């Protein structure tokens, strides 16, 4: 029994995102600390540890071959900047000009890909680590090459360990990312169930906004899982496990499309069925399916078989029984609503079947082409093209690069003016705190200052309580492990841990207590510089970007609708083109939601801007939900005039969305026909009304082809109904 409990505990620990990372870091730091201690060369600990930190910051998820190539590029960049800092350190003008140029160049490299963004960021940090090391030793007569060599040795040691680890444990990041997707889907389905709460209140819009924000988190998790799978699929194409993970990814995509679909306005359903139990049945089924997603995520993490329970099937039968009871009453005013509820039940039945098929996910590959879109640059020309596209003042990346370069130059000048002891920590703090958006910088500033104070207080206490240097060396390793395990989730704790690492390392060769006050002062100055820079230097206020982001969202919706039109014309095919159009629509929706979240935290009177943006997001996300409803039922329409008319109407809607999006992206307040005036929308809705099933023979038809045509017509009618408020919300965005 004890062995079984121990095995289960270890399996759960291994499944944690930070556990394997912590083990890898613990090995790297422990070996370096033990080696320096045994050789009585403790002064070497500081640059070796800082090299490990820089190398870990440059690390991105990849297969072992890709990580090995990235490591070689990282070491080349590290060596170049380390020796450049050594050469220019004594020449102040040359140093500050070089610092600005290197900062700008490395920041702009982030346009190429996430890998280059991480390498550029880590290289910039290593340049300042080199400066800190030179500032510490002063004129000690140390060899020119020693400081860069030690930093590179630490970076290379951790990088080698990372490559080996990646080769041994290929699938672990994929498991963790897929499990995260399932957890986010669980939260999404739980939130979606609240929309079926039969309560007449004014919180419906609030719940829809929360759902839109959660959808953004699902999209981010899906993108992360996709990149993780893509980085390994070629190297392990023959692996049956990778085929299973690819199948699970496709299942997650389909669940998200079905979960995000809408078949009728929720307020109308609540008004019509307020005294019925049908909405409670919908709510219960969604919650049961959400819990099943959570259980699937845990099964993926723990690598145990997933067995779907019977609660979902039972809840689905109860829902169908409730709908059948309402249909038996033959209330004419409920005909369209009951048809939508029936479509919802069919959609959730397919979602339930997808969850049941998760026990054999490789079977999903037969319904997909298995291709994943490669977002990495295909050539040096492609990479340069991505960077060149950012050379416009409206680019957030260019603004951040200029802002950070000027902030570091100002910090260097201030450091020289006040002769601050250990002054290069000012520049390092500025790099860590200064983020592309004001909201992220504000949060990072508070966390950095709080974490530094906590770390200094703990360090001061440990110096008095545990004066033994060997014990302090152990504390250093533990604090280093905590930094890496917490840096993406608990930045305050991570900062406190890194502060403790610095104090303990320097105390091995001198008096670490003398760093307490300078470190605190430098942190305050560096944080203030970062805050001032993001506020004063080319501030990237989100309100200025809303019209462009809204335009991109509408253009992506138009492309999604055109992809759906092709599916209804030619038949259901889950090919790369369709999945890419769907994912781009969700990505654009998530980007708009994120920008609005940042906007609400910016200084000044942002309430009006935020309200206009949220109003637009509600309508655009509602259109996305209706499009997802079409996607959940996409099959080839029967040939005939009626189907041709529906496809023509869909193309017209796509053209209206495209036109409105294009005008928004250009910041136009009006453009005549292109903005889809209200009377045009009303006329279009009228044309769709007969196709929606108002004729008696249509409502009584049991033919599947007619049912699909009615469903498509109804979804298009709902989308048409959103065009007028969407047009008005768009006008309010560009009119201010």
Interval 566-617: pLDDT, tens = 999 988 888 888 989 999 999 999 999 888 888 888 876 566 777 888 889 9
Q: Tell me: do 455 and 490 sit in the same domain.
A: yes
State the residue for tokens 């370096």: 32
Distance CA 6, CA 60 (A): 31
Q: What are phi and psi of 248, to 5 degrees?
A: -65, -35
94-99-103 Cα angle (round to 5):
155
Q: Tell me: do 698 and 720 sit in the same domain.
A: yes
The residues pairing with 368 across neighbouring beta strands, listed in sequence order, are 574
State the DSSP H helix or E strand holding residue 466, giving kind and residue range, or none if neither.
Answer: none
Q: Tell me: do 20 and 91 sit in the same domain.
A: yes
Distance CA 153, CA 55 (A): 10
Q: Which of 269-273, 448-452, 547-551, 712-716 is least confident?
A: 269-273
Residues 169-182 as b or e (16 or more Cβ within 10 Å = b)? ebbbbbbbbbbbbb
pLDDT of residue 94 exceeding 90: yes
- Asked whether the beta carbons of 351 and 259 are under 8 A apart, the reply is yes
pLDDT of residue 489 exceeding 90: no
DSSP state of 574: B
Residues 635-650 as b or e (16 or more Cβ within 10 Å = b)? eebeeeebbebbbebb
The residues pairing with 574 across neighbouring beta strands, listed in sequence order, are 368
Q: Which of 170-174, 313-317, 325-329, 375-379 is least confident?
A: 375-379
pLDDT of residue 317 exceeding 70: yes
Whole-model pTM: value is 0.86
Residue 391: inside a domain: no
DSSP state of 368: B
Residue 374: inside a domain: no
DSSP state of 692: G
Handedness of CA 377, 379, 380, 385 (dihedral sign): negative
Residue 372: inside a domain: no
User: What mean pLDDT comes out for the span 186-210?
Assistant: 83
Q: Tell me: do 546 and 534 sit in the same domain.
A: no
Of the three residues 540, 560, 583, the one that is the final residue of a domain is: 540
Residue 587: inside a domain: yes
pLDDT of residue 473 exceeding 90: no
Q: Tell me: do 112 and 39 sit in the same domain.
A: yes
Confidence at residue 682, expressed as pLDDT on a 0 to 100 scale: 41
Confidence at residue 638, expressed as pLDDT on a 0 to 100 scale: 86
- Could you read off the pLDDT of 664-712 as tens digits, one per residue? 877 765 544 444 444 444 444 444 544 433 333 444 444 567 888 888 9
Confidence at residue 162, expressed as pLDDT on a 0 to 100 scale: 92
154, burial (CB in 10 Å: exposed 0-12, middle 13-18, buried 19+): buried
Q: The tokens of 273 are what?
A: 């069925």
Q: What's the residue count for the chain?
A: 736
What is the distance in angstroms between the CA of the first residue and the CA of the last residue of the chain?
68
Residue 355: CATH number of its domain:
1.20.58
- Those residues whose C-beta lies under 8 Å from the C-beta of residue 418, and which sit 6 or more positions away, are none
Confidence at residue 301, expressed as pLDDT on a 0 to 100 scale: 87
pLDDT of residue 9 exceeding 70: no
User: What mean pLDDT comes out for the span 260-268?
Assistant: 83
Distance CA 240, CA 236 (A): 9
Confidence at residue 605, expressed as pLDDT on a 0 to 100 scale: 58
Distance CA 264, CA 268 (A): 8
Long-range contacts of 685-693 (CB under 8 A, 24+ apart): 685/717, 685/720, 685/721, 687/649, 688/649, 688/713, 688/716, 688/717, 688/720, 689/717, 691/642, 691/645, 691/646, 692/336, 692/717, 693/335, 693/336, 693/339
Q: In Å, how far are 11, 15, 210, 359, 430 from 8, measured between CA atoms?
A: 5, 11, 36, 21, 44
Confidence at residue 693, expressed as pLDDT on a 0 to 100 scale: 39
Q: The tokens of 491 are what?
A: 């930045």
Distance CA 9, CA 308 (A): 23
Q: How many domains does the chain have?
A: 4
Q: Tell me: do 614 and 686 sit in the same domain.
A: yes
CA atoms within 13 A on the CB side of 228: 25
- Asked whether the beta carbons of 52 and 154 are under 8 A apart, the reply is yes
Of the three residues 487, 514, 540, the one that is the final residue of a domain is: 540
Distance CA 647, CA 634 (A): 12
Nearest by Cα to 295 from 170, 171, 189? 189
Between these two residues, 367 and 70, which has the higher pLDDT value? 70
Q: Tell me: do 106 and 24 sit in the same domain.
A: yes
Residue 524: inside a domain: yes
Confidence at residue 134, expressed as pLDDT on a 0 to 100 scale: 84
Q: What are phi and psi of 391, to 5 degrees?
A: -85, 65
249-187-185 Cα angle (round to 5):
10
Nearest by Cα to 427 from 147, 107, 104, 96? 96
SS3 (DSSP) at 436: coil
Distance CA 707, CA 701 (A): 8
Distance CA 196, CA 324 (A): 18
Confidence at residue 698, expressed as pLDDT on a 0 to 100 scale: 43
Q: Tell me: do 271 and 177 sit in the same domain.
A: yes
- Asked whether the beta carbons of 62 and 46 are under 8 A apart, the reply is no
Q: Which of 240-254, 271-285, 370-384, 556-570 is least confident?
A: 370-384
- Those residues whose C-beta lies under 8 Å from the C-beta of residue 611, and which sit 6 or more positions away, are none
- Could you read off the pLDDT of 201-259 as tens digits, one per residue? 666 678 888 888 899 899 999 999 998 888 887 654 557 788 888 889 999 999 999 99
Alpha helical stretches, state H, 109-168: 114-137, 146-168
Distance CA 310, CA 288 (A): 10
Percent of the chain with pLDDT strictly greater than 70: 88
State the residue for tokens 């340049």: 127
Q: The tokens of 692 are what?
A: 């929606």
Q: The tokens of 520 are what?
A: 């605190």
Average per-residue pLDDT for the chain: 84
Q: Tell me: do 560 and 460 sit in the same domain.
A: no
Residue 684: CATH number of its domain:
1.20.120
User: What mean pLDDT comes out for the span 518-536?
Assistant: 91
DSSP state of 602: S
Q: The tokens of 113 are what?
A: 């890909």
Q: Tell me: do 214 and 281 sit in the same domain.
A: yes
Of the three residues 148, 169, 190, the one that is the final residue of a domain is: 169
pLDDT of residue 190 exceeding 90: yes
Distance CA 617, CA 632 (A): 22
Q: In Å, how far are 191, 318, 630, 715, 732 from 209, measured between CA atoms?
A: 10, 29, 21, 21, 19
- For residue 7, name the pLDDT band (cuts at 50, 70, 90): low
- Could you read off the pLDDT of 618-672 as tens digits, one per residue? 899 999 999 998 998 888 888 888 889 999 999 999 999 999 998 887 776 554 4
Distance CA 217, CA 593 (A): 10
Residue 392: inside a domain: no
Nearest by Cα to 473 from 458, 462, 464? 462
Confidence at residue 184, expressed as pLDDT on a 0 to 100 scale: 95
Question: What's the domain range around 523?
Answer: 399-540
Q: The tokens of 559 are what?
A: 């492309």
Torsion angle in degrees (nearest 10) through CA of 109, 115, 118, 124? -50
Residue 155: inside a domain: yes
- Asked whether the beta carbons of 712 and 646 are under 8 A apart, the reply is yes
Distance CA 191, CA 174 (A): 26
Q: In Å, how far are 195, 254, 284, 345, 538 from 287, measured between CA atoms?
A: 12, 17, 5, 14, 46
Q: Tell me: do 589 and 509 sit in the same domain.
A: no
- Asked whether the beta carbons of 529 and 410 are under 8 A apart, the reply is yes
Distance CA 439, CA 595 (A): 10
Cα 172 to chain centroid distance, Å, stands at 19
Residue 394: inside a domain: no
Nearest by Cα to 397 from 110, 120, 590? 110
Q: Tell me: do 181 and 210 sit in the same domain.
A: yes
Confidence at residue 368, expressed as pLDDT on a 0 to 100 scale: 57
- Asked whether the beta carbons of 373 and 580 are under 8 A apart, the reply is yes
Confidence at residue 608, expressed as pLDDT on a 0 to 100 scale: 73
Confidence at residue 416, expressed as pLDDT on a 0 to 100 scale: 87
């Amino acid at each position: 029994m004890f062995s079984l409990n121990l095995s289960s505990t270890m399996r759960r620990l291994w499944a944690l995102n930070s556990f394997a990372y912590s083990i890898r870091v613990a090995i790297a730091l422990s070996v370096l600390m033990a080696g320096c201690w045994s050789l009585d060369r403790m002064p070497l600990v500081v640059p070796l540890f800082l090299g490990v930190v820089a190398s870990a910051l440059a690390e991105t998820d990849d297969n072992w071959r890709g990580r090995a190539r990235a490591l070689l590029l990282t070491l080349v960049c590290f060596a170049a900047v380390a020796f450049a800092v050594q050469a220019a350190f004594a020449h102040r003008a040359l140093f500050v000009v070089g610092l600005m140029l290197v900062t700008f160049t490395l920041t702009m490299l982030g346009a190429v890909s996430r890998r280059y963004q991480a390498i550029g960021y880590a290289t910039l940090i290593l340049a300042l680590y080199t400066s800190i090391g030179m500032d510490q030793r002063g004129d000690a007569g140390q060899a020119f090459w020693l400081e860069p060599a030690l930093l590179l040795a630490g970076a290379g040691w951790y990088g080698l360990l990372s490559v080996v680890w990646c080769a041994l444990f290929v699938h672990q990041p994929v498991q963790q990312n897929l499990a995260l997707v399932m957890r986010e889907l669980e939260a999404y389905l739980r939130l979606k169930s609240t929309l079926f709460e039969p309560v007449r209140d004014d919180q419906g819009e609030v719940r829809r906004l929360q759902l839109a924000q959660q959808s953004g988190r699902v999209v981010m998790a899906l993108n992360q899982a996709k990149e993780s799978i893509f980085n390994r699929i070629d190297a392990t194409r023959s692996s049956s496990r990778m085929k299973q993970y690819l199948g699970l990814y496709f299942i997650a995509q389909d669940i998200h499309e079905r979960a995000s679909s809408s078949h009728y306005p929720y307020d109308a359903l609540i008004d019509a069925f307020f005294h019925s139990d049908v909405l409670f049945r919908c709510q219960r089924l969604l919650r049961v399916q959400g819990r099943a997603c959570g259980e699937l995520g845990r099964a993926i993490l723990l690598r145990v078989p997933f067995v779907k329970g019977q609660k979902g099937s039972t809840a689905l039968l109860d829902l169908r029984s409730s709908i059948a009871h309402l249909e038996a009453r033959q209330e004419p005013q409920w005909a369209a609503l009951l048809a939508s509820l029936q479509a919802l039940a069919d959609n959730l039945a397919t979602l339930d079947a997808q969850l049941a098929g998760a026990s054999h996910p490789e079977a999903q590959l037969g319904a997909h082409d298995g291709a994943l879109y490669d977002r990495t640059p295909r050539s040096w020309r492609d990479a340069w093209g991505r960077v060149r596209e950012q050379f416009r003042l409206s680019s957030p990346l260019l603004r951040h690069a200029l802002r950070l370069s000027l902030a570091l130059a100002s910090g260097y000048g201030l450091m020289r003016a006040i002769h601050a002891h250990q002054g290069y920590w000012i520049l390092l703090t500025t790099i860590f705190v200064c983020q592309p958006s004001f909201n992220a910088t504000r949060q990072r500033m508070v966390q950095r200052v709080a974490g530094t104070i906590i770390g200094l207080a703990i360090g001061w206490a440990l110096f008095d309580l545990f004066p033994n240097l060997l014990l302090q060396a152990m504390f250093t390793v533990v604090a280093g492990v905590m930094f890496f395990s917490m840096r993406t989730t608990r930045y305050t704790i991570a900062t406190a841990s890194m502060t403790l690492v610095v104090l303990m390392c320097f105390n091995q060769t001198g008096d670490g207590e003398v760093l307490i006050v300078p470190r605190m002062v430098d942190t305050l100055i560096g944080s203030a510089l970062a805050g001032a820079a993001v506020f004063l230097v080319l501030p990237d206020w989100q309100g200025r970007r809303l019209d462009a982001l809204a335009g991109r969202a509408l253009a992506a919706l138009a492309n999604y609708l055109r992809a759906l039109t092709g599916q209804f014309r030619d038949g259901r095919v889950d090919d790369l083109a369709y999945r890419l159009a769907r994912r781009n629509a969700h990505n654009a929706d998530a980007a708009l939601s994120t920008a609005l979240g940042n906007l609400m935290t910016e200084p000044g009177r942002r309430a009006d801007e935020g309200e206009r943006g949220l109003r637009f997001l509600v309508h655009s996300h509602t259109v996305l939900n209706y499009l997802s409803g079409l996607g959940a039922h996409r099959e080839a329409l029967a040939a005939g005039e009626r189907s041709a008319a529906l496809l023509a109407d869909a193309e017209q809607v796509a053209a209206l969305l495209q036109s409105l999006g294009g005008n928004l992206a250009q910041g136009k307040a009006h453009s005549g026909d292109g903005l889809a005036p209200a009377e045009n929308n009303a006329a279009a809705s009228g044309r769709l009304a007969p196709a929606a099933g108002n004729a008696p023979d249509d409502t009584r038809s049991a033919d599947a082809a007619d049912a699909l045509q009615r469903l498509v017509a109804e979804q298009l009618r709902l989308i048409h109904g959103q065009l007028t408020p969407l047009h008005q919300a768009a006008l309010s965005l560009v009119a201010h």
